[in-house]
Amino acid sequence: MPTTVAIVSDTHVPQRARRLPKEVWAAVDDADLVVHAGDWTGLDLVDEFEARSTRLLAVRGNNDGPEFEPRLPLVAHATIEGVRIAVVHETGDKAGRETRADREHPDVDLIVFGHSHIPWDTVTPAGRRMLNPGSPTDRRRQPNRTFLTLTLDRGRVEDVILRRLPLD
């Protein structure tokens, strides 16, 4: 059965934004799986994601304090629809990222990461898909705030869409 997925990272609520955009919450509400790649910055947001998500696969990021440690790991793994997934916040410098990912996550098909606030969609030399949804609240030097949606179906990652949020 195909699994719909919403992917977010670097939400920074309440430090950089008071709340998430309604488009993100609509995607969370509609998804079979929600992936959050860290830098929540507020535990209340974790509670809200847990309450609204059918299933949540999430990690903590470098801006998430020690209070996150009992609730969220640094790396999360799941196999959904035959797709082996790793979620991490940081993957290091852009240069050599795909090669490092192959070395650090040899037993996965999809690596979801955050930290940079820059959307990313590449394939490693070993054929692993790497996705970064950007940030739905802090676009930094990007033209838009963003998040991702996709479908997992019979071992495949399909219909990857970068969702661009309107500028305020």
Domains defined along the chain, listed by start: 3-165 (3.60.21.10)
Q: What is the DSSP letter of 155?
A: T
Q: What is the DSSP letter of 71?
A: T
Instruction: Please write the tens of the pLDDT for every residue from 56-92.
Output: 999 999 999 999 999 999 999 999 999 999 999 999 9
> Would the pLDDT of 168 be above 70?
no
Instruction: Please write the tens of the pLDDT for every residue from 120-157.
Output: 999 999 999 999 999 999 988 899 999 999 999 999 99
**Backbone phi, then psi, for 99, in 5-degree steps?**
-65, -45
Contact status, residue 115 vs residue 90, Cβ threshold 8 Å: yes
The reported pLDDT for the residue numbered 146 is 98
Instruction: Kindly list the distances between the CA atom of residue 142 and the CA atoms of 84, 136, 145, in Å, as whole numbers in the listed order.
Output: 29, 11, 7
Instruction: Please write the tens of the pLDDT for every residue from 93-104.
Output: 999 999 999 999
Q: How confident is the model at residue 17 (pLDDT cuts 50, 70, 90)?
A: confident
At 101, which amino acid appears?
A
Name the pTM for this structure.
0.97
> Would the pLDDT of 25 be above 90?
yes
Q: How far is C-alpha 84 from the geometric centre of its chain's CA atoms?
A: 15
For residues 127 and 106, what is the distance between their CA atoms, to the nearest angstrom? 10
